[in-house]
Structure 1
Amino acid sequence: MIRKKIYHLLGQLPDEELEHVYWSIESIYQEYRHKKNLLNKGVVISEIIEDANVLIDKWDKSFANSISEKEREEIHYDDFKWHIFSYEKQSCLLEEEARKAFTAMTKDEVYVMYEGAPFIFLYSNSSKLVAEDFDTQDDIYIFDKNFTWTYVRTHESLCGPYFYRVNEMTDEKTQGDKP
C-alpha cells in the first residue's frame, strides 16, 4: 500500500525534483543497509540519551585532554572533534593502518557517537565489527567502554579514518578517571 502511495507521489513530481528525492532515498537506503549488516552480525544496539553528555565529555577528556583551549579554538574542535587528528594535534594511525587497528581490537561492547548528536549508542555483542562496517557513516566516533581507544571516520574523503590509542604512560590523568 505504501509503495503505491510513494509511486503516485513520484509520478506527480517534475523531473528536476526527482534528483532530490533520489538522494534522500539513497541516504535512507544506506542507513538501512548499515543497520541490517550490524543486526546480521548479532550486534545489539541500545540508544543512550540520559548519560550521553557525560560520555561525550569523557571522550573529550580521554582523547583530547592534552589539547589546550586555544588550540581547540584554532582547529575548530567544537565543529569537528576529529580535527585533533587532521590538524595533527594528536598523533594517531591513519587510513589503512587505522582501519586495521580498529578491526584488530577486542570489541565486545563499544560506544558509538556521531558529531553533534545528543545521543550515543552502545553496541553490545560487537566482536565481529570491522572497519568496513562503517564505510558509509560520516563523522562517527567508535570507542571502547574504558576509553582507551577510538576509531573515527569523517565526512571528508581526504581526512581519516583515524585510530588513536591512549598511551598509558603519558596519559595517566586520563586513565585515572575511568567510569
Structure 2
Amino acid sequence: MNVNTYRQEINQMIDSLPDEELGNVYGSIEFIHRKYLFKKNLLDKGVVILELFEEAQEIMDLWDRAFAKNMSNEIKEAIHYSQFKWHIFSYKKQKCLEKEEARNAFDALTKNELYVMYQNSPDVVFEYNNANDVVAADFDFEQDIYIFDKNFTWTYVHTHESMCGPFFYKIV
C-alpha cells in the first residue's frame, strides 16, 4: 500500500467512529508520534540504536547485581522492587541524586556507549552508540526508563511519576 492509500483508509476508519472514540484515537496517535520524535531526536544526534534481544535478560540481571546488590530479598519485597526497580531510590534504600542534581550529573557524563531498558519491556535492551550528545531532557517523556553505562558503574532513571525522580546513582 502507498502512503495515500494508508491516509485514505485511516481517514475512513476515523470517519466511521463515533465521536466518543476519537479521544482514544488521538491518544494512540499521540503516543506513536511521541515515540517517533523520541527516536528521531536520538538519530538526529547521531546515536546508533541497536536492539538486543538474546542478551536482554542477562543485561537486566547485571543491572540488578550492580545497583541493588546490597538489597536483601526481604527489602526488595517490602519496597515492591519487582514492580519498579527504581523503588530502591524512591524508598531511599540506595543513596542517589534526585531531580535537577540527577539530571546535571547525567548530562556531565561522557556517554559514548549506553544500555537503555524499560521496566515493562523485559524482552529487549537497547544499546546506544555514539551517544555523547544524549542529555537527560531527551528522556523527559519516557516512562520507567533505565539508562546506564556498559560497565554498570552508574545509572540514570526516569520514572512515570513526576514526584519520583529522576534518579542518578553512581557506584563509588
With the shorter chain as reference, the TM-score category is over 0.9
- Give the distance between the partners of 1:22 and 1:152, measured in 2 at CA: 28
Q: Show structure 1 runs of 4+ deviating over 6 A.
A: none
For residues 55 and 39 of structure 2, the distance between their equivalents in structure 1, rounded to whole angstroms, comes to: 23
Query: In the TM superposition, what is the alpha-carbon distance from 1:143 to its structure 2 partner?
Result: 0.1
Q: TM-score scaled to structure 1, two decimals?
A: 0.92
Q: Distance in 2 between matches of 1:52 and 1:29?
A: 26
Stretches of structure 2 lacking an aligned partner (at least 5 in a row): none
RMSD: 0.6
Q: Residue type matched to 1:142 in 2? A: I
**1:88-109 Cα deviation digits (max 9, x unpaired):** 0001000000001101111000
The amino acid of 1:36's aligned partner reads K
Specify which of 69, 76, 83 is matched with residue 73 of structure 2: 69
Aligned length: 167
C-alpha distance in 1 between matches for 2:39 and 2:129: 14
Aligned-residue identity in percent: 57
Matched residue, 2:138: 133
Task: Name stretches of at least 5 consecutive residues in structure 1 with no aligned partner.
Answer: 168-179
1:163 paired with 2:161, answer: no
Task: Look up the match of 1:175.
Answer: none
Q: Report the CA distance between 1:116 and its aligned residue.
A: 2.9
Counterpart residue number, 1:32: 36
SS at match of 1:116: coil
Per-residue CA deviations over 1:68-89 (Å, capped at 9, x if unaligned) read 1100000000010000000000
Query: Separation in 2 of the partners of 1:19 and 1:116?
Result: 24
